[in-house]
Amino acid sequence: MLVVRPIEARDYEALYACAVESGHGFTSLPVDETLLKRRISRAEEAFALTTVEQPGEEGYLFVMEDTDTQEIVGVSAIEAAVGLSSAFYHYHVGRVVHHSAKHNVYNNLQTLTLCNDYTGVSELCTLFLREPYRKGRNGRVLSKFRLLFMAQFRQRFADTVIAEMRGISDEDGRSPFWAWLEKHFFTMDFPSADYLTGIGEKTFIAELMPKFPIYVNLLDKSAQEVVGKVHQNTVPALKLLTSEGFRFRGYIDIFDAGPTVEAEIKQLRTVRNSRLMKVRVGRPEVAENVLLCNTKLKDFRACQADVTCNGDDVIMTEETAQALGVAAGDHVRLAAL
202-223 tens-digit pLDDT: 778 878 888 899 999 999 999 9
Mean pLDDT of 103-109: 92
Eight-class DSSP state of 266: G
Q: What is the pTM of this model?
A: 0.92
pLDDT at 24: 61
State yes or no: is 231 an active-site residue: yes
Label the pairing between strands 2-6 and 59-66. antiparallel
The closest of 37, 38, 18 to 26, measured between CA atoms, is: 18
Secondary structure (H, E, C), 71-94: EEEEEEEEECCCCCCCCCCEEEEE
pLDDT over threshold 70, residue 273: yes
Mean pLDDT of 314-330: 97
pLDDT at 86: 86
Gap between the Cα atoms of 168 and 320, Å rounded: 39
Gap between the Cα atoms of 168 and 173, Å rounded: 9
* Catalytic residue (one of 92, 103, 184, 231): 231
pLDDT over threshold 60, residue 156: yes
pLDDT over threshold 90, residue 23: no
Contact criterion met (CB below 8 Å) for 40 and 8? yes
Q: Which CATH number fits domain 2-91+115-270: 1.10.630.10, 3.30.870.10, 3.30.70.360, 3.40.630.30?
A: 3.40.630.30
Question: For the chain, which residues make up each domain, given as ranges?
Answer: 2-91+115-270, 274-336
Q: Which CATH number fits domain 274-336: 1.10.579.10, 1.10.10.10, 3.40.50.1110, 2.40.40.20?
A: 2.40.40.20
**171 or 164: which leads in pLDDT:** 164
